[in-house]
Every structure is written in structure tokens, then in C-alpha cells.
Structure 1
Amino acid sequence: MAQTTKYVIKYKLNGERRFEFAQLRTGTEEEARAALQELHGETGDVISEVKVSKAL
């Protein structure tokens, strides 16, 4: 199993600020967007302003 680290993902969903915690391998924006897409599904929601940082 690959090593993962807990990250906080700050983003906007349809213009509303939100955040989620996720276990990611690299913490890249692409990986975070994939995790958010999995979480929110294919509902047509707009995910923008994605910022990733290590959780404390």
C-alpha cells in the first residue's frame, strides 16, 4: 500500500467556500480535484480555487 498523508483541501463549490480533509499521496492540485470529484460526483457542480496543504 502506498504511503499517504492527510491534507486539507480548501476550495469553492458553486461559489461557496468549503474545505475537506483527504488522504493523498502527493498533495497535488490534480490529485485533490480527483478526490473532490469522487466526493461530489458528476452533479455538474463547479469546483474552483482549489488549494491543498498538509493538515496539522
Structure 2
Amino acid sequence: MITTTKTKYVIKYRLNGERRFEFAQLESNSTEEASKALAKIHEANDEISEITVSKAL
């Protein structure tokens, strides 16, 4: 059985031009994983850009 460790990260991004942030449990700080997490909570037609990921304090 393979187990993965998830860490709490803060995702900073722009949603339709507005600066936003979310916290998420991710396996790594990759923008691809963060993008997938954001896609789950926003509408399909929302424009998500300028994604940065860092460890939450």
C-alpha cells in the first residue's frame, strides 16, 4: 500500500482578474496540482491565472 503525505499549502492566484488565495492539502507545491484543486472549486468558465504555491505557516 502506497501512502502519500499531504501538506497544507496556500495557493495565490487571480480569478477573473481579482487577486485571491485558498488553502489546500496538496502532495507537492506544483502549479499543476494547485490548478487542478482550483478547478474543482470554481466554475469551468472562470479564468484562473498567475498561480503561485507556497507552504502555509
Q: CA 1:41/1:2 → structure 2, altered by over 3 Å: closer, same or farther?
A: farther
Following superposition, which runs of at least 4 residues in structure 1 exceed 4 angstroms of deviation?
none
Amino acid in structure 2 at the alignment position of 1:6: K
Pick the structure with greater CA Rg.
2
Choose the corresponding residue for 2:34, options 32, 35, 39.
32
* Counterpart position of 2:48: 47
> Is there any run of 5+ residues in structure 1 with no aligned partner, and where?
none
Amino acid in structure 1 at the alignment position of 2:54: S
Q: TM-score, normalised by structure 2?
A: 0.91
Amino acid in structure 1 at the alignment position of 2:35: R
Q: CA RMSD in A?
A: 0.9
